[in-house]
Amino acid sequence: MTERKEIYSVSSLTREIKGVLENRFPYVWIYGEISNLRIPSSGHCYFTLKDRNAQISGVLFRGQAARLKFRLEDGQTVTGLGRVSLYEPRGTYQIIFEYMEPKGAGALQLAFEQLKQKLAAEGLFDAAIKKPLPPFPRRIALVTSPTGAVVHDMLTVFRLRYPNAELLVVPVRVQGDQARFDILAALSGLNRHMAADLIILARGGGSLEDLAPFNSEEVARAIHQSVLPVISAVGHETDYTIADFTADMRAPTPTAAASLAVPDKRRIKEDLAVLTARLRLCLDRRLADGRQRLDAASRRLVDPKKKIYDHRLRVDELTQRMARAIRRELSDRLTAQNWRRDRLTKASPLVSVTAGRRDVQGLSKRMGLAMNGRLTRNRDTLKRLEQNLSALSPQLVLDRGYSIVRDSRSGEVITRAAQVEIGSSLDVVLADGSLKAVVERKDDGKEEI
């Protein structure tokens, strides 16, 4: 007989089952295929996770969904971390996911996540402990396989971008069980001898299994302990390894690591050109300032040289003007001289002598003629004047009975009675002699003659 120790109510059984489930599976990694995905307006994702033989409900709440780097889709295989939860009102259980990622990665992925969490908790990934990369590395160690495309491609980038860095290839195996020890030895050796100022840990793409050495704790700790800065460049852009998280810098690909490690020579040259231009500009500005001040000062300062210059110019000018003036003067004088010579030639004494002679002859002739004429005329005039004169001669007058009375004392001819006084002595000239008379009486009346 079975003792019915206890009769569960639906609720109490459900609660008990819930307790068992949730305590037994607090957090689980699970992978499967998503189907029947529903995302209502709440933003929470509801789906069924299934594999060939079973299925289980899953929920990813909106907050967690937003943190995922991919979008959930039906048919997608995912691996997720979640806790089992029983929803009592419906008696159903589901997994409430905290985190999901695409691709079923299985145990490796899990190991990866666990190691990642462990190292993160230890602070190996802290941004604060990342070492800065040298801006101009002189020697770079390439910890990688010496064969294959990876090293070749990186060397090409270095040669093109910055040929000044010396490269040291540190050959290691990059896959297989022993690879991690090669890498470990390489990193510690380089650090022991400080044989480079930058380390690049590189490998081409591969499966999660291929990349296993770079997800190993040994490599992670070796990177962490490296005094020399480490760039990790493992796999493709989408691959993240523990080495990437631990390194001082992660490069998406090996060639990208080469580009990150060294500056671009062309860029440096451009920077140099800019610096040099700035240098020149500064000095030019300084010089321009100085020149301006100097100019200002010089303007106030009379430069003796300039004066000499001015004088020289003035002398030159004067000399030229003088020369011009002299030339003009000479030519004027020459002209004048010519003119005078002409005049002189024209005024030659020979000319005037001849002319004079001619004149003299003419004049003499004319003079002769004139003289003759005048003589004749004068002779005639004389004759006539003689006749006139004889007509006027006092003798004739006297002959006709007139006499000339003079004052005896003064000799004055007396023509008027008033000229004499009574008693004055008079000389009376007659035609044939003279008389001396005395005035007895004066009559100023008009006596008839």
Partner 1 sequence: MAKKKFEEAVAQLEAIVEDLESGDLPLDKAMKRFEEGVKLSKICSDTLDEAETRVRILTGETDEGLQDAPFTEADQRGTE
For partner 1, the closer CB: 171 or 205: 171
Chain-centre distance for alpha carbon 65: 58
Binding window for partner 1 (CB under 8 A); candidates: 145-153, 309-317, 390-398, 400-408:
145-153
Q: Can residue 167 be called a binding residue for partner 1 (CB under 8 A)? A: yes
- Closest approach of Cβ 264 to partner 1, in Å? 11
- Beta-strand pair 55-60/92-102: parallel
Q: Scanning residues 292 to 351, which ones bind partner 1 (CB under 8 A)?
A: none
Written as one letter, the residue type at 395 is Q
Which residue carries 């195996």 as its tokens? 173
- Other beta carbons within 10 Å of 265: 13
Of 213, 262, 263, nearest to 234 by C-alpha is 213
Chain-centre distance for alpha carbon 366: 104
Q: Can residue 189 be called a binding residue for partner 1 (CB under 8 A)? A: yes
Of 99, 48, 94, nearest to 75 by C-alpha is 48
For partner 1, the closer CB: 135 or 349: 135
Name residue 118's beta-bridge partners: none
Q: Can residue 135 be called a binding residue for partner 1 (CB under 8 A)? A: yes
- Closest approach of Cβ 330 to partner 1, in Å? 59
For partner 1, the closer CB: 278 or 306: 278
Binding window for partner 1 (CB under 8 A); candidates: 6-14, 34-42, 130-138, 205-213:
130-138
Interface residue with partner 1, options 21, 115, 120, 195 (CB under 8 A) = 195
Q: Which two tokens stand for residue 365?
A: 């002739």
- Closest approach of Cβ 201 to partner 1, in Å? 14
Please state, in angstroms and rounded to a whole number, the distance separating the CA atoms of residues 242 and 112.
8
For partner 1, the closer CB: 43 or 163: 163
Binding window for partner 1 (CB under 8 A); candidates: 91-99, 136-144, 348-356, 434-442:
136-144
Binding window for partner 1 (CB under 8 A); candidates: 147-155, 303-311, 316-324, 372-380:
147-155
Q: Can residue 136 be called a binding residue for partner 1 (CB under 8 A)? A: yes
Q: Can residue 146 be called a binding residue for partner 1 (CB under 8 A)? A: yes
Tell whether the torsion through CA atoms of 342, 345, 346 and 349 is positive or negative. positive
- Rounded to the nearest 5 degrees, what angle is found at the Cα of 281, between the Cα atoms of 279 and 285? 120
Q: Which two tokens stand for residue 359?
A: 């004149």
Please state, in angstroms and rounded to a whole number, the distance separating the CA atoms of residues 31 and 262.
42
Rg (C-alpha) for the chain, rounded Å, is 78
- Closest approach of Cβ 239 to partner 1, in Å? 23
For partner 1, the closer CB: 260 or 268: 268
> 115 with 180: CB under 8 angstroms?
no
Q: Can residue 164 be called a binding residue for partner 1 (CB under 8 A)? A: yes
Q: Scanning residues 261 to 300, which ones bind partner 1 (CB under 8 A)?
A: 265, 268-269, 271-272, 275-276, 278-280, 282-283, 285-287, 290
**Residue 183 exposure: Cα atoms within 13 Å on the Cβ side:** 34
Q: Which two tokens stand for residue 212?
A: 């296993």
Please state, in angstroms and rounded to a whole number, the distance separating the CA atoms of residues 410 and 335.
78
Q: Can residue 176 be called a binding residue for partner 1 (CB under 8 A)? A: no
Interface residue with partner 1, options 67, 103, 118, 152 (CB under 8 A) = 152
- Rounded to the nearest 5 degrees, what angle is found at the Cα of 285, between the Cα atoms of 283 and 287? 65
Interface residue with partner 1, options 104, 171, 205, 252 (CB under 8 A) = 171
Please, what is the angle between helix 106-122 and helix 217-225, to 10°?
30
Binding window for partner 1 (CB under 8 A); candidates: 139-147, 249-257, 318-326, 355-363:
139-147
Chain-centre distance for alpha carbon 27: 70
Please state, in angstroms and rounded to a whole number, the distance separating the CA atoms of residues 281 and 211.
54
For partner 1, the closer CB: 84 or 233: 233
For partner 1, the closer CB: 104 or 171: 171
For partner 1, the closer CB: 166 or 342: 166
For partner 1, the closer CB: 243 or 262: 262
For partner 1, the closer CB: 272 or 325: 272
What is the contact surface with partner 1 in residues (CB under 8 A)?
Answer: 134-136, 138, 141, 145-148, 151-152, 155, 158-159, 163-171, 186, 189-190, 193, 195, 265, 268-269, 271-272, 275-276, 278-280, 282-283, 285-287, 290
